[in-house]
């Protein structure tokens, strides 16, 4: 062969190999990736070897691969949709990571997910003892310093609520328990003393005005006005009471408190069971 003839032969076998390769592949596979280029080179080399040309193709380079004009616009739309899908997946992955990190913190999230999986597995096996052990470990993990995000916020609120219960209800309980010996010894005396203390507390306020009448009168009618100081004290007390109520409403939007049977100190409280049986309010018939 002359060099010109060799070039023409290579051109023809490459065109033939390209047509055969395009016929055996999908459009996306043909215009994307390197598989089509390798297949064109293989087919062209086989044709040259079959004709005993002695020509060896070292490399094949395809500089421009475009779909046919009839479907070019549709292919471009598919490619654009793929790119949008990739972007959406990446955004969703970042958002999921952010949400999970905000839930419990990046450092503790993986361990919590594993413990929750162990807890669910124990429940599915019906192993209540193992479930309780895993639940205790989950509680310990939530108490650790690794917890962050919403979980840490919830734990802080729970500790504050627990402190409020212990400081308010616990204080009342301790006070009442301290009165038990006196009540047992002389209940009438204790009740009278408590009544006098309450009576004294009410009458000792600056907004209280006490009027005494001589004994022995059958009836007494008075027409009088309160003193200016007492009237001012009453208005100030009413205004202060409104301010205190408003501040309490702003500080505690959830103005509620657990009943005595629902308060558990130093152990886990209410828990929802998978079968919705048992728990607070269902002690009677287990429904």
203-229 residue pLDDT tens: 887 777 777 777 777 777 777 777 788
- Average the pLDDT over each of 11-25, 115-129, 219-233 and give the range with the smallest value: 219-233
Asked whether the beta carbons of 150 and 102 are under 8 A apart, the reply is: yes
What pLDDT is recorded for position 64? Answer: 77
- Average the pLDDT over each of 39-48, 50-59, 108-117, 206-215 and give the range with the smallest value: 206-215
What pLDDT is recorded for position 287? Answer: 40
Q: What are the structural domain ranges in the chain?
A: 3-65, 69-103
What pLDDT is recorded for position 151? Answer: 81
What pLDDT is recorded for position 253? Answer: 47
The model's pTM? 0.38
The overall longest dimension of the chain from CA atoms, in Å, is 149
* Average pLDDT, integer, range 238-260: 65
* Average pLDDT, integer, range 36-53: 86
């Amino acid at each position: 062969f002359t060099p010109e003839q060799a070039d023409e032969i290579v051109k023809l076998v490459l065109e033939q190999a390209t047509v055969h390769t395009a016929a055996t592949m999908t459009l996306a596979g043909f215009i994307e990736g390197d598989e089509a280029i390798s297949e064109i080179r293989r087919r062209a080399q086989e044709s040259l070897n079959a004709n005993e040309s002695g020509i060896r193709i070292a490399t094949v380079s395809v500089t421009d691969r475009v779909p046919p004009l009839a479907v070019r616009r549709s292919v471009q739309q598919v490619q654009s949709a793929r790119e949008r899908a990739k972007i959406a997946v990446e955004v969703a992955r970042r958002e999921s990571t952010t949400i999970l990190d905000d839930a419990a913190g990046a450092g503790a999230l993986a361990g919590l997910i594993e413990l929750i999986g162990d807890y669910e597995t124990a429940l599915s096996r019906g192993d209540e003892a193992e479930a309780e052990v895993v639940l205790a470990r989950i509680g310990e993990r939530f108490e650790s310093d690794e917890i962050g995000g919403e979980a840490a916020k919830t734990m802080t609120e729970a500790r504050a609520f627990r402190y409020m219960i212990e400081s308010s209800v616990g204080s009342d309980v301790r006070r009442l328990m301290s009165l038990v010996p006196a009540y047992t010894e002389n209940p009438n005396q204790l009740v009278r003393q408590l009544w006098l203390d309450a009576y004294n507390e009410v009458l000792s306020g600056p907004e209280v005005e006490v009027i005494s009448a001589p004994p022995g009168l059958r009836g007494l009618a008075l027409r009088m006005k309160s003193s200016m100081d007492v009237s001012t004290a009453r208005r100030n007390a009413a205004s202060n009471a409104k301010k205190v109520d408003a501040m309490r409403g702003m500080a505690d939007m959830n103005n509620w408190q657990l009943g005595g049977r629902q308060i558990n100190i130093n152990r886990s409280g209410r828990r929802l069971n998978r079968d919705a049986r048992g728990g607070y309010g269902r002690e009677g018939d287990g429904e």
